Structure 1
Amino acid sequence: MDKKCSIFIILVATILVVDTSAQKPPTNTYELNWVPDFDYKGWAEAKNFVEGDKIIFKYEVGKYSVLETDQKGYDNCFVCPTATPHSSGNDEVVLPVGIKYFINASDKGQNCKDHNMKMKITVPPSPPKKVEGARKLVQETN
């Protein structure tokens, strides 16, 4: 095997090792008491959410509930037909990249409207990973 072929194989192996070892940031689990008159906007904005983070909504069953909704449902405290309801009192939601909207829907949106029981969470995409070692190896072979 000639020198250029060997260097190419090392380069490919280095890229594969770097890519597979580039792990996602660690995820967090947040327990949240889902109650009226709490500053959910401030709470969510103070966090640096990453993909895979979990929120556990804790609340009194029968009195409150959590509804994953769309922006229209969030803005208007409206129960949209495509919403995902939760009602266990201990609801775990795993966050994907993007924006998630939650409202209280157990009282047809009144606690959402009158007592701020709604929350918007934004999870940004992970920043691209640098592959510095592979770039250096390519420069050395030229």
Structure 2
Amino acid sequence: MKSVDATEFRVGGSDGWTVTTSFNYNQWAEKNRFQVGDSLLFDYDSGKDSVYQVNKEDYDKCHTEKPIETYKDGHTSIKLDETGTLYFISGNCGNCRKNEKMVVQVMACRGSCNSAASLGYLSCLGVVGAFVASLLL
């Protein structure tokens, strides 16, 4: 079985998650390849900002009333555990309106990888069972 290396992406580079005129989060996200197992690291001033995961409509309108997830600790690491599109906005509505928001497209994992469930299942089978099961994967 191959092991898959995950990458932690620091959102916003050295500036972190903040309102800035010189950084476009969506352009940054488009230049990166996010895959299952990777994580996003948001660094921000927890007294002034936060990170909300929202749906597309709330992303488009900077609505903060019904987030899917809310993060306020100032150093938030979000593991990307499934494929699809994720929407993040600042929990500060004014910041969101100043483009402190980002769309992330998560792709399938690198190369030939196995899910954690498959790996757990194989470890229960023992050496011979793992060999036979690997032939079936």
Q: By the TM > 0.5 criterion, same fold? A: yes
Matched, 1:27 2:6: yes
User: Following superposition of structure 1 onto structure 2, how do residues 2-81 of structure 1 map, counting pairs within 5 Å?
Assistant: 21-23=1-3, 25-32=4-11, 33-37=16-20, 38-81=23-66
Residues 25-75 of structure 1: per-residue CA shift (max 9 Å, x gap)? 421011220011321011100101110111110001111100011111111
Matched, 1:124 2:107: yes
**Following TM superposition, by how much is the alpha carbon of 1:126 offset from its aligned partner in structure 2, in angstroms?**
4.3
Moved over 3 A (4+): 126-129
RMSD: 1.8
CA distance in 1, matches of 2:86, 2:65: 14
Please, which runs of 5 or more residues in structure 2 have no aligned partner? 113-137
CA distance in 1, matches of 2:5, 2:71: 26
1:105 to 69, 78, 91: 91
User: What TM-score do the two structures reach when normalised by structure 1?
Assistant: 0.67
Please, which runs of 5 or more residues in structure 1 have no aligned partner? 1-20, 130-142
Cα 1:103–1:82, aligned 2, differ >3 Å: closer, same or farther? closer
8 Å CA contact 1:27–1:52 kept in 2: the answer is yes
CA distance in 2, matches of 1:27, 1:100: 18
Residues 6-30 of structure 1: per-residue CA shift (max 9 Å, x gap)? xxxxxxxxxxxxxxx255x421011
**Following TM superposition, by how much is the alpha carbon of 1:82 offset from its aligned partner in structure 2, in angstroms?**
4.5
Find the structure with the greater CA-based Rg: 1
